[in-house]
Structure 1
């Protein structure tokens, strides 16, 4: 059950995130709370609690500072990508300090990119963040895919990373084709008028 919930929220963010900023905020906050709690092997109830609190806090803060929403959403999705990156680069027992440094560094960089490049950066960031949630969810659905959740060094890390990249690119392509108006992209129909 837990893997499926994260998988669905990740798919929503990865393939539909640029469509609605509110949806992106809720999904990114949910994913961030989940992935941070999951780094330290929390129980299912704790994972859902962190995810729901993350979604609520993200939405409230973004609503209060809507002027800075692109910056905030970029930071949230960057933190999700940072949490996945921390999981990929560390071995089994994750270090709080290393995880925090990786998550904060990626979050800050993503926030600045989102603030500067708006929709185009958010397109990439929602795709990358959603892909990390999809893999975390898939890894929790069955033991055969557990390596997607916590890859061991070697082929599992390489495979997990390649799948993360492939899913991110797929999310980028889908969102770009579905929502060109959000990105200011001219479609063939628009250029014929």
Structure 2
């Protein structure tokens, strides 16, 4: 299985199924964060998988140790994934380590606080956004024609990539909201 397909599948799980299982969300977000951070610097496929696996294991171990703060941690991980994608979109061409770190850290911390305060509702958005970033990275890795989804450079590529990211995020939010209303505390009573 190529790296693009693996990232695409993990991203789809996180984007469309993330709120259902906290363990799945932790593993997928940790894998995605490791992969996306390594991908910012054009690492080899083996390095990408290694960073992804290390990210998944570290995220799961830390979350298990501090389960009380799991919403905060998952929010931070998925926010950092979104931050990595934002850093990539904001920096066409070569990426600057310092700017990337600032963006990833800022978005990750903000998302962690949102997840801690709003719990399932924030995690619904954050897993959708993080999963969508992984799906686009996976699609961009699979074929040269879609490479701009992974590393947009020209203005039209940045706009298209951002719109695709927003569209996938909204689709993930809708799917998760409809599939898992009990996790979100939504009463689904219909009136005739």
Give the structure-1-normalised TM-score.
Answer: 0.97
2:184 match: 183
CA distance in structure 1 between the partners assigned to 2:138 and 2:178 by the alignment: 25
- In structure 2, the residue matched to 1:125 is 126
State the alpha-carbon separation in 2 of the partners of residues 105 and 17 from structure 1: 22
Structure 1 residue aligned with 2:16: 15
Task: Indicate the RMSD between aligned Cα atoms, in angstroms.
Answer: 1.0
Residue number in structure 1 paired with 2:52: 51
Structure 2 CA distance for aligned equivalents of residues 165 and 118 of structure 1: 21
How far, CA to CA, are the matches of 1:188 and 1:4 in structure 2? Answer: 38
User: Any stretches of 5+ residues in structure 1 without a counterpart?
Assistant: none
Secondary structure at 1:3 match in 2: helix
Take 1:34 and 1:109, find their aligned partners in 2: how far apart are those partners?
Answer: 21
Partner residue of 1:148? 149
Q: CA deviation at 1:153?
A: 2.8
- Structure 2: stretches of 5+ with no match in the other structure: none
**Corresponding position of 1:36:** 37
SS in 2 for 1:162: helix
Is residue 166 from structure 1 mapped to residue 171 from structure 2 by the alignment? no
Which residue is equivalent to 2:72?
A: 71
TM score, norm. by length of structure 2: 0.98
Q: Tell me which residue corresponds to 2:89.
A: 88
CA distance in structure 1 between the partners assigned to 2:153 and 2:42 by the alignment? 15
SS in 2 for 1:120: helix
Which aligned runs of 4 or more in structure 1 are off by greater than 4 angstroms? Answer: none
Map Cα deviations across residues 119-172 of structure 1 (whole Å, 9 max, x no partner).
000000000000000000000000110100100131000000000000000000
Q: The residue matched to 1:188 in structure 2 has which SS?
A: coil
Structure 1: distance between partners of 2:92 and 2:171: 28
Q: How many residues align?
A: 191
How far has the Cα of 1:106 moved from its partner? 0.1
CA distance in 2: counterparts of 1:139 and 1:165, whole angstroms: 16
In the alignment, what sits opposite 2:62? 61
